[in-house]
Structure 1
Amino acid sequence: MYLKKLITVILCTALLLCSSGIAYADAGRNDHPHQGNIIITPQMVYIYESQSKLNITSTGQAQVKCYVEGYSGIVTKVSIEAELQQYKNGDWVVINSWYQSSSSYRLTLSKSTTVPKGYSYRVVADVTAYSGSDSETQTVISSEVDY
């Protein structure tokens, strides 16, 4: 009887020791300076940060703001191609577009236009960072805004 209890205790101890080695992934801290719509993306080679934002005022003024920043000392040029899209009849339709570039490592595109009521809107921006003849493009989509 004593031997049976001893074997049981040893087996339980071994089981506990083996199972305690399981490691769980840690979500970690979110140190991103722009709390809000955080999107986890792969590490980029040339693009350090990018954003696409849309705000629509009570009078229907759509304010578009897109931003790209490359790694300083590596990136020689950046560009932003932004589209303001309207959700209509089940599809996203481009209602306005802009392009801007800079011989720098960062760029902000700020535009505004009037939009009609009764639709959802978003901004889709292709931001590109150049380093010599190489380039890297990332598509950044804003949150949808109902107006």
Structure 2
Amino acid sequence: MSTKRRMVFAVLSLVACLTAIPIPQASAASVDVSCASSSVMPLMEYISNLDYDFKISNGTAKITARMDGYVAITTKCKVTVELQEKGFLFWNTVKTFNAVEYRDFAEVDTTYSVASGKTYRLNITFTAWSGSDSETQTITSYTINT
């Protein structure tokens, strides 16, 4: 048998094997809602709200990131915003902005000059404390091409 026929036979055998073997499938388990609690539980203990806004216009990035904690529970809030620029393989942090408040909210509201022809995003870390206990949420924003 020639080399060309062996290759064709090998490819056809591979295709036959791949189509004959069933592919495992996953399905979600059914949820019994009859025993579910009717009260709504918060997802976070110390953070009540997170929000950010990211715009670039005329070479200036406008960055706003705010967190709210629960009144009388949250004792300290920290917002860390990393402005990142797309490199060849990785996202590189261009500038980091921080806001720390010993109360139930914190906000970063700033501008920064950016280069044209680049792609930017934000990596935002929100941390809230109640005494010595803390919780953290991290958000990566959408990307903006300049």
TM-score (structure 1 length as normaliser): 0.68
Asked if 2 retains the 8 angstrom alpha-carbon contact of 1:52 and 1:140, the reply is no
Task: Report the CA distance between 1:139 and its aligned residue.
Answer: 0.5
Task: Report the CA distance between 1:51 and its aligned residue.
Answer: 2.0
Which residue of structure 2 lines up, in the alignment, with residue 119 of structure 1? 118
Task: Report the CA distance between 1:52 and its aligned residue.
Answer: 2.8
Deviations 1:55-114 (A, max 9, x none): 101x21011111111111100110111100011112110000011101110111111111
Percent of residue pairs identical: 30
Aligned residue pairs, count: 109
The structure showing larger relative contact order (alpha-carbon pairs under 8 Å, at least 6 residues apart) is 1
Task: Report the CA distance between 1:53 and its aligned residue.
Answer: 2.3
Which residue of structure 1 lines up, in the alignment, with residue 4 of structure 2? none
Which residue of structure 2 lines up, in the alignment, with residue 101 of structure 1? 100
Moved over 4 A (4+): none
Q: Which runs of 5+ in 2 are unaligned?
A: 1-29, 34-41
1:1-147 superposed matches below 5 A: 43-57=43-57, 59-147=58-146
Partner Cα distance (1:92, 1:53) in 2? 19
Asked if 2 retains the 8 angstrom alpha-carbon contact of 1:52 and 1:124, the reply is no
Q: Which runs of 5+ in 1 are unaligned?
A: 1-21, 26-41
TM-score (structure 2 length as normaliser): 0.69
